[in-house]
Structure 1
């Protein structure tokens, strides 16, 4: 039998139903895995083993009575340390936040998982306030990639990605303001999705505004769909939250896998966007994905959406948000922030209201552009990241000449500006490190992204191109 820590959430629930495994055994296995792997990877900033085992014992009792609390009863999960978790501190990777206060409220996604019986094993690391595309911070240091600990896990949900990939809990909820679910998922060889803005409610509202999404991270698309069924839907604390589809995401994915075909889908394959350079091995892997999608029945056409790089508009919005995050800090606290965060906060604070509104105008125009593009194409295929993971502990690849993390993430942040659903599917290896292929749909096309991702991932697994991460 597979070690419980290496099982998916879907497999764990099935094993609980059949009495082959108990939530206590599964949670103990995950905690042992954390104890063995996390000293190297540093994916967790908080692990509460005693509380997790108590939750697991309560779950075991419910299962023994045939009364599971919900879809995730007994499944070990982690939460990115940007999301409020009742009874546990949310320090956001910063020395500026004190743990010595009352932590009385769950974020909406955390509340939904708690209601469904999930076992919380811990909080995962983030760069300070989630500001960049790699994960290191002044509070807990550097988070590393399970495929090669000398390389970065990506960010800002790098702790969540490393934890899922290494078997330190099969599910995590991350956040994505410019790629922060998709970047680390691609680098760590797992599935990650940024749903349409509002699909997963957020509270408190992000200072980064409507760039910020929450999203599922898992080793399989089926697990991500399971988590989506739990954490989506309205919450009174988020006035922008959307309704969930009536049929549910798991049902849609199951139906797609039963069909095993993508016939009828029109997919645009863009080897690059706005002229971004792509590592040849990465490009080859994503091109192979385009060929596989065609063999699965889709109508695939090489087609560039044709928009200019919106990075300056993104910087105006992102840096302004960062300045808002830290505006209450005094000079001594500000000086203890990540130096790169200090830099972008100063830039953001210098932006005028007219500059901000100009960036909003550019963002809206890009949304219209992509809306029209998707009148022709159901999905857009791109690389997720143009390079494999690089050295851990730095914001940009050494010797690249780049200044900010956005210089090496040209395929992710545009779709935060447009609020479209976008997912990264493991697509093989380049130089021994994972490559991700990104699938993007029009706004509200979350189910389509999950269906296509599931069929694609299943085909890649069948061909032996990918597995389920370094634990599988």
Structure 2
């Protein structure tokens, strides 16, 4: 078991707040050891156990990997800039030697023998996997609680949800329990918890990161990086990117590299998506994003308010995709164990079971029309900016705010359309409500152009550095 690293280094009290560039520079100069840093991350993870961000911590394997990384740095032979960097993986993706449960009591607890492609690439680059983060059952909703592992809570206020479905990863990132965090996003599951916890969450262009075994929810599901800094998310995505023959849905040609450039706002054509597909936007969320839009105009950007193509039809198109995906997953589960599942997941699957083949294919056709129209729209505009989530964080353990009868899809309708159209989208911290709760801003780009989105995100970070709060800064991690 790790000892508190404060006993061994004058800098180790700051370790959990360091980014990839700082750590790799310190490793290179022999000012820090991966062993010390990984130990610090594990200690931090234990300190926030009351927030329920992890399904388990892999102390022994993590320390062995850290020791191997230290030997590589000592020889001057690191595998990459993330060699020795503490990393977490959501309880959705396969990790060699880990039991992946999908947040469910009905899954096989036997450990997997092979990494998922994204995990494999990170491991080859020297990332140190410290533990597995929580998800709702099969990642089916936009908050994080499950029958198997209970309720995950926000570090800003433990009474509130961190969002989901990558909520455990978001909490770990926000609190400094690791530097890099692998999430999945089938309708906002990277971006929603990034918004609710004040971190960076990027949903890549579909196919940039191989998804294998394939998601039960099909090609709306993406794998993306979550981190505290844009540069960390960028280097992580670059490493995870690439073709893998286990994912037939990937294009057979490579995506452009993510060599981030200095993004100037002057003269850029920015579409402002201000009205969600369903419902209204909380006034504090709107005020925060409106403030950024005013600043971008002062920087010389040409900003026009817009609605998405076919916006009124998107809820039904997405619901058919998502619920049929849930039905697909339910079909693999022993009928005698259905009572052990989250009732909300079962209800969504039962809706999916009722759709006819014609209705399902009609949704595919609607998605195709929307995707083509979005591709055309992103030729007209350089980027689209919107709130990430139209509401503020609400009570943990609920699927929607108290008294709100909408589904998670309806209260998060700035995110799911971009899963249908498969564009890259990055959520960034955009200030705080009067109660001190994080608000997120979303930057959306053309398919394949993650480079421009992340370059704009880095420019945004430079403009609003005070919004990117360091771990241990303004939030509470008290019991």
**TM-score category of the 2 structures, normalised to the smaller one:** over 0.9
Where in structure 2 are the equivalents of 1:352-391 lying within 5 Å?
352-391=356-395
Match of 2:306 in 1: 303
Q: Distance in 2 between matches of 1:205 and 1:13?
A: 33
Deviations 1:407-435 (A, max 9, x none): 21010001111111111111010121100
Match of 1:130 in 2: 139
Deviation at 1:264? 3.1
Deviation at 1:312? 1.2
Match of 2:17 in 1: 6
Match of 2:469 in 1: 467
Task: Please report the TM-score for the alignment, with normalisation by the length of structure 1.
Answer: 0.94
- Match for 2:269 among 261, 266, 269? 266
Match of 1:107 in 2: 116
- Match for 2:336 among 332, 345, 350? 332
Match of 2:52 in 1: 42
Q: Distance in 2 between matches of 1:327 and 1:41?
A: 32
- Match for 1:316 among 309, 315, 320? 320
Deviations 1:191-219 (A, max 9, x none): 10111110111100111111000001010
Deviations 1:77-128 (A, max 9, x none): 00011000001111000001121x3511111100001100111001100000
Q: Distance in 1 between matches of 2:217 and 2:277?
A: 24
| Contact residue 27 and residue 56 of structure 1 kept, 8 A | yes
Q: Distance in 2 between matches of 1:109 and 1:92?
A: 17
| Contact residue 220 and residue 468 of structure 1 kept, 8 A | no
Match of 2:284 in 1: 281
**Partner SS, residue 126 of structure 2:** coil
Mapped pair 1:416 → 2:419? yes
Deviation at 1:375? 2.3
Deviation at 1:35? 1.1
Q: 1:320 to 1:305 in 2, by over 3 A?
A: closer
Deviation at 1:244? 4.6
Match of 1:33 in 2: 44
| Contact residue 293 and residue 456 of structure 1 kept, 8 A | no
Match of 1:16 in 2: 27
| Contact residue 94 and residue 137 of structure 1 kept, 8 A | yes
| Contact residue 200 and residue 429 of structure 2 kept, 8 A | yes
Q: Distance in 2 between matches of 1:261 and 1:468?
A: 26
| Contact residue 327 and residue 350 of structure 2 kept, 8 A | yes
Deviation at 1:306? 5.0
Q: Distance in 2 between matches of 1:244 and 1:8?
A: 28
- Match for 1:93 among 85, 93, 103? 103
Deviation at 1:460? 0.6
**Partner SS, residue 160 of structure 2:** strand
Q: Distance in 2 between matches of 1:359 and 1:389?
A: 31
| Contact residue 172 and residue 178 of structure 2 kept, 8 A | yes
- Match for 1:182 among 170, 188, 191? 191
Q: 1:244 to 1:293 in 2, by over 3 A?
A: farther
Q: Distance in 2 between matches of 1:356 and 1:216?
A: 30
Q: 1:274 to 1:345 in 2, by over 3 A?
A: closer
Task: Please report the TM-score for the alignment, with normalisation by the length of structure 2.
Answer: 0.93
Match of 1:172 in 2: 181
Note the residue ranges of structure 2 that are not aligned, 5 or more in a row: 1-10, 475-479
Match of 1:452 in 2: 456
Q: Distance in 2 between matches of 1:214 and 1:10?
A: 23
- Cα RMSD between the aligned structures? 1.5
Q: Distance in 2 between matches of 1:428 and 1:279?
A: 14
Deviation at 1:245? 4.6
| Contact residue 190 and residue 469 of structure 1 kept, 8 A | no
Q: Distance in 1 between matches of 2:297 and 2:21?
A: 29
Deviation at 1:241? 2.6
Q: Distance in 1 between matches of 2:222 and 2:201?
A: 12
Match of 1:56 in 2: 66
Q: Distance in 2 between matches of 1:330 and 1:374?
A: 44
Deviations 1:126-149 (A, max 9, x none): 000000000000000001111111
Where in structure 2 are the equivalents of 1:336-351 lying within 5 Å?
336-351=340-355
Where in structure 2 are the equivalents of 1:196-211 lying within 5 Å?
196-211=205-220
Q: 1:57 to 1:194 in 2, by over 3 A?
A: same
The count of corresponding residues between Structure 1 and Structure 2 is 460
Note the residue ranges of structure 1 that are not aligned, 5 or more in a row: none
- Match for 1:218 among 221, 227, 249? 227
Deviations 1:374-429 (A, max 9, x none): 22211111110011110001111111232x11121010001111111111111010
Match of 1:425 in 2: 428
